[in-house]
Amino acid sequence: MRRVRPNNSQDRRGFTLIELLVVIAVMSLLVALLLPAVQRAREAANRVACRNNLKQIALACHNHHDVLLYFPTGGWEWWTPPNYVNGAPAVGSDQQGGWGFQILPYIEGNVVWQAGQVIAIGTPNPMFFCPTRRAPQTITFIDQYTPPVTGTELTHAMCDYAGSNLDGTGTIKQFFPNRIADITDGTSNTLLISEKRLNVAELGQWQADDNEGYTCGFDHDTMRLTSQRPAPDFRGQGPGPPIFGSSHPGAFNAAFADGSVRSISYSINTTVFGYLGNKADGQAINLGP
Protein backbone atom coordinates (compact mmCIF):
# COMPACT_ATOMS: atom_id res chain seq x y z
CA MET A 1 0.00 0.00 0.00
CA ARG A 2 1.24 3.49 -0.92
CA ARG A 3 1.90 5.67 2.06
CA VAL A 4 0.73 9.27 2.05
CA ARG A 5 3.10 11.64 3.74
CA PRO A 6 1.32 13.62 6.40
CA ASN A 7 0.93 17.36 5.90
CA ASN A 8 3.35 18.62 8.51
CA SER A 9 4.09 22.34 8.53
CA GLN A 10 7.46 21.63 10.14
CA ASP A 11 8.59 19.86 6.93
CA ARG A 12 7.99 22.90 4.69
CA ARG A 13 11.05 25.04 3.88
CA GLY A 14 11.05 28.83 3.28
CA PHE A 15 13.23 31.88 3.66
CA THR A 16 13.85 33.09 7.14
CA LEU A 17 13.87 36.80 7.91
CA ILE A 18 17.65 36.75 8.26
CA GLU A 19 18.05 35.08 4.87
CA LEU A 20 15.79 37.66 3.23
CA LEU A 21 17.76 40.48 4.79
CA VAL A 22 21.01 38.95 3.52
CA VAL A 23 19.62 38.64 -0.01
CA ILE A 24 18.39 42.24 0.05
CA ALA A 25 21.74 43.44 1.32
CA VAL A 26 23.60 41.56 -1.42
CA MET A 27 21.28 42.91 -4.11
CA SER A 28 21.67 46.46 -2.78
CA LEU A 29 25.44 46.08 -2.85
CA LEU A 30 25.35 44.82 -6.44
CA VAL A 31 23.16 47.73 -7.51
CA ALA A 32 25.47 50.18 -5.73
CA LEU A 33 28.43 48.70 -7.59
CA LEU A 34 26.63 48.60 -10.94
CA LEU A 35 25.09 52.09 -10.90
CA PRO A 36 28.37 54.05 -11.15
CA ALA A 37 29.47 51.82 -14.03
CA VAL A 38 26.19 52.48 -15.85
CA GLN A 39 26.53 56.22 -15.20
CA ARG A 40 30.10 56.21 -16.51
CA ALA A 41 29.03 54.34 -19.63
CA ARG A 42 26.16 56.77 -20.19
CA GLU A 43 28.45 59.78 -19.74
CA ALA A 44 31.01 58.29 -22.12
CA ALA A 45 28.30 57.87 -24.77
CA ASN A 46 26.99 61.41 -24.15
CA ARG A 47 30.47 62.87 -24.42
CA VAL A 48 30.97 61.15 -27.77
CA ALA A 49 27.60 62.47 -28.98
CA CYS A 50 28.54 65.97 -27.85
CA ARG A 51 31.88 65.76 -29.66
CA ASN A 52 30.03 64.66 -32.79
CA ASN A 53 27.70 67.67 -32.50
CA LEU A 54 30.68 70.00 -32.36
CA LYS A 55 32.34 68.19 -35.24
CA GLN A 56 29.27 68.71 -37.41
CA ILE A 57 29.03 72.36 -36.33
CA ALA A 58 32.71 72.94 -37.19
CA LEU A 59 32.26 71.30 -40.59
CA ALA A 60 29.19 73.48 -41.16
CA CYS A 61 31.31 76.57 -40.46
CA HIS A 62 33.83 75.35 -43.03
CA ASN A 63 31.09 74.64 -45.57
CA HIS A 64 29.83 78.17 -44.93
CA HIS A 65 33.38 79.38 -45.65
CA ASP A 66 33.58 77.28 -48.83
CA VAL A 67 30.36 78.75 -50.19
CA LEU A 68 30.60 82.37 -49.03
CA LEU A 69 34.39 82.62 -48.59
CA TYR A 70 34.17 83.54 -44.89
CA PHE A 71 33.13 82.09 -41.53
CA PRO A 72 29.74 82.93 -40.02
CA THR A 73 29.64 86.06 -37.91
CA GLY A 74 28.41 86.45 -34.35
CA GLY A 75 25.53 88.58 -35.62
CA TRP A 76 24.63 92.05 -34.40
CA GLU A 77 23.02 92.33 -30.94
CA TRP A 78 20.80 90.24 -28.66
CA TRP A 79 17.78 92.33 -29.61
CA THR A 80 18.29 91.96 -33.39
CA PRO A 81 16.44 88.92 -34.77
CA PRO A 82 17.49 86.97 -37.86
CA ASN A 83 16.64 89.09 -40.88
CA TYR A 84 15.62 88.45 -44.48
CA VAL A 85 16.15 90.41 -47.68
CA ASN A 86 13.46 89.94 -50.35
CA GLY A 87 12.36 86.80 -48.53
CA ALA A 88 15.84 85.23 -48.38
CA PRO A 89 18.04 85.10 -45.26
CA ALA A 90 20.65 87.86 -45.26
CA VAL A 91 24.28 86.72 -45.12
CA GLY A 92 27.63 88.03 -43.93
CA SER A 93 27.71 91.43 -42.27
CA ASP A 94 24.07 92.02 -43.27
CA GLN A 95 22.80 89.14 -41.12
CA GLN A 96 21.66 90.23 -37.65
CA GLY A 97 21.21 86.71 -36.27
CA GLY A 98 24.15 84.78 -34.89
CA TRP A 99 26.35 81.95 -36.13
CA GLY A 100 23.82 79.27 -35.15
CA PHE A 101 21.25 80.67 -37.54
CA GLN A 102 23.83 81.24 -40.28
CA ILE A 103 25.01 77.60 -40.42
CA LEU A 104 21.52 76.06 -40.60
CA PRO A 105 21.79 75.24 -44.35
CA TYR A 106 24.88 73.15 -43.61
CA ILE A 107 23.38 71.05 -40.77
CA GLU A 108 20.23 69.96 -42.60
CA GLY A 109 18.31 73.00 -41.35
CA ASN A 110 17.71 74.71 -44.68
CA VAL A 111 13.91 74.53 -44.40
CA VAL A 112 13.97 76.21 -40.98
CA TRP A 113 16.52 78.76 -42.21
CA GLN A 114 14.20 79.86 -45.00
CA ALA A 115 10.91 79.57 -43.07
CA GLY A 116 10.98 83.03 -41.51
CA GLN A 117 11.76 84.53 -38.13
CA VAL A 118 9.14 82.85 -35.94
CA ILE A 119 9.92 79.34 -37.18
CA ALA A 120 13.69 79.82 -37.12
CA ILE A 121 13.76 81.32 -33.63
CA GLY A 122 11.47 78.69 -32.12
CA THR A 123 12.57 75.43 -33.79
CA PRO A 124 15.13 73.48 -31.74
CA ASN A 125 17.92 71.66 -33.55
CA PRO A 126 19.18 68.52 -31.72
CA MET A 127 22.73 69.28 -32.88
CA PHE A 128 22.80 72.34 -30.62
CA PHE A 129 22.29 70.36 -27.41
CA CYS A 130 24.71 68.34 -25.28
CA PRO A 131 22.90 65.15 -24.12
CA THR A 132 24.73 65.19 -20.79
CA ARG A 133 23.02 68.49 -19.94
CA ARG A 134 19.58 68.33 -21.52
CA ALA A 135 17.33 67.27 -24.37
CA PRO A 136 16.33 69.87 -26.99
CA GLN A 137 14.56 72.67 -25.14
CA THR A 138 12.60 75.87 -25.77
CA ILE A 139 11.34 78.70 -23.57
CA THR A 140 8.57 81.18 -24.28
CA PHE A 141 8.34 84.79 -23.11
CA ILE A 142 7.33 88.24 -24.33
CA ASP A 143 8.94 89.28 -27.61
CA GLN A 144 11.84 91.63 -26.81
CA TYR A 145 13.35 92.03 -30.28
CA THR A 146 13.81 95.37 -32.03
CA PRO A 147 11.82 95.59 -34.22
CA PRO A 148 9.40 93.08 -32.63
CA VAL A 149 8.90 89.77 -34.38
CA THR A 150 5.39 89.11 -33.05
CA GLY A 151 4.77 91.82 -30.47
CA THR A 152 3.40 89.09 -28.19
CA GLU A 153 4.93 85.94 -26.73
CA LEU A 154 7.64 84.24 -28.73
CA THR A 155 9.19 80.77 -28.40
CA HIS A 156 12.99 80.52 -28.46
CA ALA A 157 15.04 77.37 -29.12
CA MET A 158 18.03 77.09 -26.79
CA CYS A 159 21.67 76.19 -27.50
CA ASP A 160 24.49 74.57 -25.46
CA TYR A 161 27.37 75.84 -27.61
CA ALA A 162 29.00 79.24 -28.03
CA GLY A 163 31.40 80.92 -30.40
CA SER A 164 34.84 82.23 -29.64
CA ASN A 165 34.78 84.93 -28.53
CA LEU A 166 33.09 87.81 -26.69
CA ASP A 167 36.51 89.44 -26.32
CA GLY A 168 36.48 90.33 -30.03
CA THR A 169 39.73 88.50 -30.80
CA GLY A 170 38.32 85.18 -31.95
CA THR A 171 37.24 83.38 -35.10
CA ILE A 172 33.57 84.32 -34.67
CA LYS A 173 33.39 88.10 -34.89
CA GLN A 174 30.60 90.60 -34.32
CA PHE A 175 29.17 92.27 -37.44
CA PHE A 176 31.99 91.40 -39.85
CA PRO A 177 33.15 87.90 -40.83
CA ASN A 178 36.63 86.42 -40.56
CA ARG A 179 38.36 84.40 -43.24
CA ILE A 180 40.78 81.54 -42.78
CA ALA A 181 43.57 83.91 -43.87
CA ASP A 182 42.75 86.08 -40.83
CA ILE A 183 43.65 83.25 -38.46
CA THR A 184 47.38 83.84 -38.50
CA ASP A 185 48.07 81.69 -35.42
CA GLY A 186 46.92 78.63 -37.40
CA THR A 187 43.49 77.03 -37.53
CA SER A 188 44.59 74.02 -35.47
CA ASN A 189 45.60 76.34 -32.61
CA THR A 190 42.54 78.60 -32.58
CA LEU A 191 39.21 77.96 -30.90
CA LEU A 192 36.04 78.11 -33.01
CA ILE A 193 32.96 76.83 -31.15
CA SER A 194 32.78 75.21 -27.73
CA GLU A 195 30.43 74.21 -24.93
CA LYS A 196 29.18 77.02 -22.70
CA ARG A 197 28.77 77.00 -18.93
CA LEU A 198 25.24 77.30 -17.52
CA ASN A 199 23.30 77.30 -14.28
CA VAL A 200 21.62 73.90 -14.58
CA ALA A 201 19.26 74.67 -11.69
CA GLU A 202 17.44 77.14 -13.94
CA LEU A 203 17.39 75.30 -17.28
CA GLY A 204 14.11 75.90 -19.06
CA GLN A 205 13.65 79.25 -17.33
CA TRP A 206 14.54 82.74 -18.50
CA GLN A 207 18.26 83.31 -17.91
CA ALA A 208 20.33 86.21 -19.18
CA ASP A 209 22.70 83.77 -20.92
CA ASP A 210 20.10 81.19 -21.97
CA ASN A 211 17.00 82.96 -23.26
CA GLU A 212 17.19 84.21 -26.87
CA GLY A 213 18.67 80.89 -27.97
CA TYR A 214 20.74 79.78 -30.94
CA THR A 215 19.54 82.46 -33.38
CA CYS A 216 20.64 85.23 -31.03
CA GLY A 217 23.07 87.88 -32.22
CA PHE A 218 26.31 88.78 -30.43
CA ASP A 219 25.37 87.93 -26.84
CA HIS A 220 26.08 85.55 -23.94
CA ASP A 221 23.59 83.03 -25.38
CA THR A 222 25.83 82.29 -28.34
CA MET A 223 29.23 83.81 -27.51
CA ARG A 224 31.61 83.39 -24.56
CA LEU A 225 34.87 84.81 -23.18
CA THR A 226 38.25 83.16 -23.58
CA SER A 227 39.92 85.74 -21.33
CA GLN A 228 38.53 83.86 -18.32
CA ARG A 229 39.12 80.24 -17.34
CA PRO A 230 36.32 77.80 -18.23
CA ALA A 231 34.41 75.98 -15.49
CA PRO A 232 31.85 73.18 -15.00
CA ASP A 233 28.12 73.87 -14.86
CA PHE A 234 26.80 74.96 -11.49
CA ARG A 235 23.61 75.13 -9.43
CA GLY A 236 22.63 78.48 -7.96
CA GLN A 237 20.70 81.63 -8.66
CA GLY A 238 21.12 83.66 -11.80
CA PRO A 239 23.77 83.30 -14.48
CA GLY A 240 27.46 83.07 -13.79
CA PRO A 241 30.13 84.86 -15.82
CA PRO A 242 29.85 84.39 -19.62
CA ILE A 243 32.49 81.66 -19.85
CA PHE A 244 32.94 78.32 -21.52
CA GLY A 245 32.25 75.04 -19.71
CA SER A 246 29.89 72.09 -19.64
CA SER A 247 28.09 69.40 -17.66
CA HIS A 248 30.91 66.92 -18.37
CA PRO A 249 33.20 66.05 -15.46
CA GLY A 250 36.85 67.05 -15.73
CA ALA A 251 36.85 68.62 -19.17
CA PHE A 252 34.65 70.13 -21.87
CA ASN A 253 34.59 69.67 -25.65
CA ALA A 254 35.83 72.30 -28.07
CA ALA A 255 35.92 72.59 -31.86
CA PHE A 256 38.90 74.32 -33.40
CA ALA A 257 39.09 76.36 -36.58
CA ASP A 258 40.63 73.44 -38.50
CA GLY A 259 37.49 71.37 -37.82
CA SER A 260 39.06 69.17 -35.14
CA VAL A 261 37.38 68.56 -31.76
CA ARG A 262 39.38 68.19 -28.57
CA SER A 263 38.75 68.05 -24.83
CA ILE A 264 40.02 70.91 -22.68
CA SER A 265 40.53 70.57 -18.93
CA TYR A 266 38.81 73.04 -16.62
CA SER A 267 42.21 73.52 -14.99
CA ILE A 268 43.76 74.97 -18.15
CA ASN A 269 45.90 78.02 -17.48
CA THR A 270 43.91 81.23 -18.01
CA THR A 271 46.63 82.81 -20.12
CA VAL A 272 46.93 79.71 -22.31
CA PHE A 273 43.17 79.61 -22.81
CA GLY A 274 43.25 83.25 -23.83
CA TYR A 275 45.87 82.43 -26.46
CA LEU A 276 43.61 79.67 -27.84
CA GLY A 277 40.81 82.19 -28.24
CA ASN A 278 42.90 84.81 -29.99
CA LYS A 279 43.29 84.14 -33.70
CA ALA A 280 46.26 86.47 -34.26
CA ASP A 281 48.29 87.08 -31.11
CA GLY A 282 51.39 85.25 -32.31
CA GLN A 283 51.01 82.62 -29.59
CA ALA A 284 50.45 79.25 -31.30
CA ILE A 285 49.37 76.92 -28.48
CA ASN A 286 48.94 73.31 -29.57
CA LEU A 287 46.99 71.16 -27.12
CA GLY A 288 47.68 67.98 -29.07
CA PRO A 289 45.06 65.51 -30.31
Mean pLDDT (whole number) for 157-178:
98
pLDDT, residue 37, reads: 63
Residue 3 has pLDDT above 80, yes or no: no
Rounded to whole angstroms, the Cα distance separating 254 from 232 reads 14
Residue 20 has pLDDT above 80, yes or no: no
Rounded to whole angstroms, the Cα distance separating 189 from 278 reads 9
Question: How much of the chain, in percent, has pLDDT values that exceed 70?
Answer: 91
In this structure, the number of other CB atoms found within 10 A of the CB of residue 160 comes to 26
pLDDT, residue 5, reads: 52
Residue 34 has pLDDT above 90, yes or no: no
Mean pLDDT (whole number) for 139-162:
97
Residue 39 has pLDDT above 90, yes or no: no
Closest CA to 101 of 79, 124, 85, 135: 124
Rounded to whole angstroms, the Cα distance separating 142 from 151 reads 8
For the ranges 80-89, 177-186, 204-213, 279-288, which has the lowest average pLDDT?
279-288
What is the pairing mode between strands 191-195 and 251-256?
A: antiparallel
Residue 258 has pLDDT above 60, yes or no: yes
DSSP state of 172: S
